[in-house]
Amino acid sequence: MDERTNNSGLEEALEIQSLRRIISAYLNYAAAAEEDVHRYERSFHKLPPSHKALLPHYLYKCRRLRWCISENGYVILNMLQAFEPPIDMTRNLETGENEPPVSICTTLNEGSCSTDGESTRLNQTSLKKANIEASSMGNFRDSDTRIHTATCSCSSACGACDDKTKVFGCQTYAYSVSEANGKGDCPTFDWWDPSFQLNVPLVDVDKVRCIIRNIVRDWAPEGQRERDQCYRPILEELDRLFPTRRKDRPPSCLVPGAGLGRLALEISCLGFISQGNEFSYYMMICSSFILNHTQRQREWTIYPWIHSNCNSLSDRDQLRPVEFPDIHPASAGITDGFSMCGGDFVEVYGDQSQEGSWDTVVTCFFIDTAHNVVEYIEIISRILRDGGVWINLGPLLYHFADSYGSEDEMSVELSLEDVKRIAFQYGFELEIERTIETTYTANPRSMMQNHYFAAFWTMRKKIQSRSQLHQ
């Protein structure tokens, strides 16, 4: 018992340390961006006078960049002030939280934006003030809390991680949009306290920049084109497959890898009990802010394209503002039961209690986040009811393909042909398949555009006969 208690205490301490590191990455955003501007200025001052004379506006642009950085920093600070840590962040750690963090070796994916590797192990904690149930499923019923807890039954610590960052434990939480959106009291933490600030590697700060670009993709008018490319085909297919959706018994839909939650919300607005699942704490901090704390359309302004001088058509394009959210989430017409569940997909939905629980599973730019894509397919098949539907859209840019680290690191990279063959082995039948060209968190005015020719399919889980069920 003592050993178990000690292990639990160590896991919680490591969890706090991991979350502090993520908070520190957000807090280090402005300083890292400011250092980039210093670099631009140093390079400018090395120019010969004749060349400087040709660029009289350059230093003014640097001043403008600093102003944009401060505006982004203001949004980030509000995001953190609204964040309700599910663990006691003030407790003293005995694991050397002030030691310099180990640099993470990352492979940035999906448009150089990968955040799925941070610890999302959360203690079972009830946080306050919500008015919408997290889900109609028993694991998530709690209409009195904004962030609804759900406990994974696994006894061991989750081992799946990205970017070499350990996930400590396998409990999860879910939060739902509050109808009192933005009107509740926000917790106040002194994130500027030195104990919350670590010298994190720049790769961690890059993930914050990725979050800013993901805000555009999911919640800004400028991201509508990408949403039309990626989300609209999925929404149209759901509408076709479930033409009569009863309000008293809406179909259920799981969205693993939900990111900032827009697709899961749109599915909810179609009349589904929709649950998004997200592994990245970076994503969850931001999505909770947008879903639970924004009070109106276009409430916030960010400058997402300031972090690179490359491939800009003009300074005006690079410095242009983007407002978000384009819709007010709490006023969007969601179906009761909409929720977001934080945790590793394998650990949360691999649990026996999830078997046959979902009418449909939607994966968008998700299945290539797996260490073992076969395991993902197996779990998707298991959690779907007989006759349930799997809709997928995305490439196969496997997140761990170029990871060089521990020999225990696993990455199973299959071709599209093999992925489909495995799906057939797990009882799926292909109904619709086509290729969709799309981008991911792309700057629409950049001179460089990375395009994916994403696989899009609808598969249906075969209905097993009685004899098959008893085999």
Prediction pTM value:
0.82
Residue whose tokens read 């809390």: 145
Question: What would you report as the CA-atom Rg of the chain, rounded to the nearest whole angstrom?
Answer: 22
Closest by alpha carbon to 70, among 30, 39, 32?
A: 30
Query: Any residues with CB less than 8 A from the CB of 28 and at least 6 apart, and which?
Result: 197, 199, 200, 204, 205
Q: Ramachandran region of residue 29, left (φ > 0), alpha (ψ -120 to 50) or beta? A: alpha
SS3 39: helix
Q: In what order do the strands lie in the sheet with 339-342?
A: 147-150, 172-175, 339-342, 273-278, 252-256, 358-364, 384-394, 452-461, 428-438
pLDDT of residue 107: 28
* Neighbour-count burial of 411, counting CB atoms closer than 10 A to its CB (0-12 exposed, 13-18 middle, 19+ buried): middle
Q: Tell which residue, 397, 334, 353, has the closest CA to residue 177.
A: 334
pLDDT at 264: 98
Please tell me the predicted confidence (pLDDT) of residue 442. Answer: 96
* 3-state helix, strand and coil shares in percent for the chain, rounded to the nearest 5: 40, 15, 45
Q: What's the token pair of residue 78?
A: 């509000």
Q: What is the pLDDT of residue 363?
A: 98
Q: 117, 95, 96: which is closest to 105 by C-alpha?
A: 117
Sequential DSSP letters for 201-248: -HHHHHHHHHHHHHHHHHHSGGGHHHHHHHHHHHHHHHHHH-SS--SS
280 phi, psi to nearest 5 deg: -90, 125
| CATH superfamily ID and name for 10-14+98-469 | Vaccinia Virus protein VP39 (3.40.50.150)
What are the sequence ranges of the domains in the chain? 10-14+98-469
Q: Over its length of 471 residues, how does the chain's per-residue pLDDT go in tens digits?
A: 565 556 667 777 777 888 889 999 999 999 999 999 999 999 999 999 999 999 999 999 999 999 999 999 999 999 999 998 877 777 654 444 444 333 222 223 334 455 544 433 332 222 222 222 233 232 322 222 232 333 232 222 222 233 322 222 233 444 455 443 443 444 456 777 776 678 888 999 999 999 999 999 999 999 999 999 999 999 999 999 999 888 889 999 999 999 999 999 999 999 999 999 998 999 999 999 999 999 999 999 999 999 999 999 999 999 999 999 999 999 999 999 999 998 899 999 999 999 999 999 999 999 999 999 999 999 999 999 999 999 999 999 999 888 766 667 789 999 999 999 999 999 999 999 999 999 999 999 999 999 999 999 999 999 875 445 445
Rounded to whole angstroms, the Cα distance separating 120 from 395 reads 25
pLDDT of residue 421: 98
H-type alpha helices, 222-344? 224-241, 262-269, 281-293, 315-318
Indicate the SS3 state at residue 386.
strand
Rounded Cα–Cα distance for residues 183 and 168 (Å):
33
